[in-house]
Structure 1
Amino acid sequence: MAFEHYSRSAASICQCLECRGKGLIYGMKDVEKHPGIIRADGVVIIEPWIEVERVGELCQKCNGKGVLSNRCRCKGRGLILDEEETALRGVPVHKICPRCSGRGYSRVPSSVAYTAIKALVPELTQSSWSRNWKPFYEKLVEKCYTEEKRAEAAFNEVTK
């Protein structure tokens, strides 16, 4: 979980949980097989023929792709157009995206890690998570970042 948090980027994608990666959500629906025949004066000659069938509908969350992007509304750039400043100055003015704080993607909330750990340790309480486990989880993520910096420094030293 900590490595997933560390390795997350604006380019990474994940499987849609609504459709489980299929792009379609199946359900039983009434399907009109024949509309029936009705005369101009409103007399029904043949009744409409309706059957209940299993129908696949396009997943609304992923729009049928089966995967979700981690990108923010800023499209992974970390910058958005400041409309107020642009209107005042007359030239495009960009600012750091307030939703993702300039990262380009939203971070994994700690509640996701809490849910995953609670599945393994059912007696874990919210207060125990906040006091003991969450700081440990955040230190694991921070350790991944520091090790990445050390590896990059070692790589730069070797390739000079």
Structure 2
Amino acid sequence: MSLESTVKYHFPKGQSFSDTAPNTSPDKLTGTDYIAGMGMAMARAPLGYSAFMGKVGVSKNDARRAVSLLTEYALQTCDKVAALRKLNSKIKPAVMQVLASYAYLDYCRSAASLRPCECCGATGFIAAKVVTMKSMLSGHGRREVREQIRVRCKACTGKGVISSACRDCSGRGRVVMRKETERQGVPVMGDCKRCCGRGYERIPAIEAYRAICTITENISLATWDRSGKPFYDRLIGKLEVEESWANTTLAKFIV
């Protein structure tokens, strides 16, 4: 049994809590067995289990727990980075929490994710100045009138949100390789170079740095690029590793 298979148990459509068809075999797993297996996986791999459940929208509490556990991990390992080790002990937890929050947001992102449109402030409309010709009240002549009106935002087409799907591959992660296609005479597919095959655009690491700058000014952009960003990327990788470990742990208890 995988983590993805457990999602349906959190959104049941009926009263039956089982992964198999009803039968009389004494070896079949019951609903209690599945609950126990998920409980053991949660206990053995708390970070990975909570991160996944928060990512798929099962529980907001799991999402907050995942960020909290990742923050603890960041505090335990940040002293290996000189720039982070030198931070004041009073602001270090806040910096680690910011990094953990952004790392979790990046981990949760997919081609189906939506983000607020920065152009219109997620309203779907922007202010624009237009010039119109209007007749004078006396009925003689016309004059130009400059007005400010609200028009639909072109960036989000009035939706207020923008898809995180890669613009080159439309979220598929694969595109037609033109050179190879022309050389072989048949369509040749390959990983999208823009998103590296993920199908979506990651959260720019510079956004995490800007959030850190609101807490402390002791980390320069050069220091961030040299040591801060690699540490931030490791936090994202930690979430992916822990999810894999939670999936393996669950499979051991529920076969």
State the one-letter code of the partner of 1:29: V
Q: Does 1:8 align with 2:103?
A: no
Choose 79-88 or 7-16, whichever is displaced more.
79-88
Give runs of ≥4 in structure 1 deviating > 6 Å.
none
Q: What is the aligned counterpart of 2:195 among 81, 92, 100?
A: 100
Q: What is the aligned counterpart of 1:82 among 165, 174, 177?
A: 177
Unpaired runs of 5+ in structure 1?
37-44
Q: What is the aligned counterpart of 1:17 among 103, 113, 118?
A: 118
Aligned residues: 151
State the one-letter code of the partner of 2:152: L
Where 1:95 maps in the other structure, the secondary structure is strand
Q: What is the aligned counterpart of 2:149 among 43, 50, 55?
A: 55
TM-score normalised to structure 1 length:
0.80
Q: What is the aligned counterpart of 1:70 among 157, 160, 164?
A: 164
Residue in 2 aligned with 1:40? Answer: none
Counterparts of 2:188 and 2:226, CA distance in 1: 42
Counterparts of 2:251 and 2:214, CA distance in 1: 42
Same amino acid, percent of matched pairs: 36
Residue in 1 aligned with 2:90? Answer: none
Deviations 1:87-114 (A, max 9, x none): 3333221111111111111222221211
Counterparts of 1:52 and 1:151, CA distance in 2: 62
Unpaired runs of 5+ in structure 2?
1-101
Correspondences of 1:136-155 after superposition (within 5 Å): 136-155=231-250
Residue in 2 aligned with 1:122? Answer: 217
Please tell me the root mean square deviation across aligned C-alpha atoms, in Å: 2.3
Deviations 1:52-110 (A, max 9, x none): 33311221222222111111120111111122332333322111111111111122222
Structure with more helix by fraction? 2
Q: Does 1:29 align with 2:112?
A: no
State the one-letter code of the partner of 1:111: I
Choose 76-85 or 45-54, whichever is displaced more.
45-54
State the one-letter code of the partner of 2:118: L
Counterparts of 1:131 and 1:101, CA distance in 2: 22
Counterparts of 2:225 and 2:193, CA distance in 1: 26
Residue in 1 aligned with 2:61? Answer: none
Counterparts of 2:176 and 2:224, CA distance in 1: 39
Choose 51-60 or 101-110, whichever is displaced more.
51-60
Residue in 2 aligned with 1:39? Answer: none
Where 2:214 maps in the other structure, the secondary structure is helix
